[in-house]
Structure 1
């Protein structure tokens, strides 16, 4: 089980209510679960992805520890330009998918 964090921005109120019912809200629209298994994480993301498909405004980003991914971090996102982790001169940076811009 790993720490999971979801950041919601400008989404419908029901996202906030649902996420607050299954995770801790440590700052406005920032939700964490200190020990969440993969199955629960995927079910929660499935719910928000379905809702987002019905009301596509704002954005959600989910981050979790995944040793099989670049930098050991898994990323999932809805609504924002896709992001990916890349190594640049020995550092991990976030690049907007398709744009080639490092953040």
Structure 2
């Protein structure tokens, strides 16, 4: 049995709605599902990867934990993209 957690920052309503439809939203931007099959988890992640390309100034991390496995050996998967500031974005003064 596995526990999947996805933590997001500054994602679009489309992505929040999709995650909320597939997982329980524990707090704003924090989603969890205690029993996702590997196939369902892979499909969810595939959608997130595809939609992530259209997000701006967004970050997301997913963690997967299996019962009975040493937490120091967990595999983490992350997507993060920070767009560089342009000259017009810098505060004046």
| TM-score (normalizing by structure 1) | 0.68
Higher normalized helix content (fraction of residues): 2
Shift of 1:77: 1.1
Q: Which residue number in structure 1 is paired with residue 31 of structure 2?
A: 31
Q: 1:70 to 1:57 in 2, by over 3 A?
A: same
Q: Point out 4+ residue stretches in structure 1 off by more than 6 angstroms.
A: none
Equivalenced residue count is 80
Contact 2:5 2:31 in 1 (8 A): yes
2:72 corresponds to which residue? 71
Larger RCO, structures 1/2 (Cα 8 Å, 6+ apart)? 2
Shift of 1:12: 1.1
What CA distance in whole angstroms lies between the structure 2 residues aligned with 1:50 and 1:37? Answer: 20
Structure 1: gaps of 5 or more residues: 82-103
User: Which has a greater percent of strand?
Assistant: 1
Larger-gyration structure (1/2): 2
Normalised to the residue count of structure 2, the TM-score between the two structures is 0.75
Aligned to 1:57: 57
- How far has the Cα of 1:71 moved from its partner? 2.0
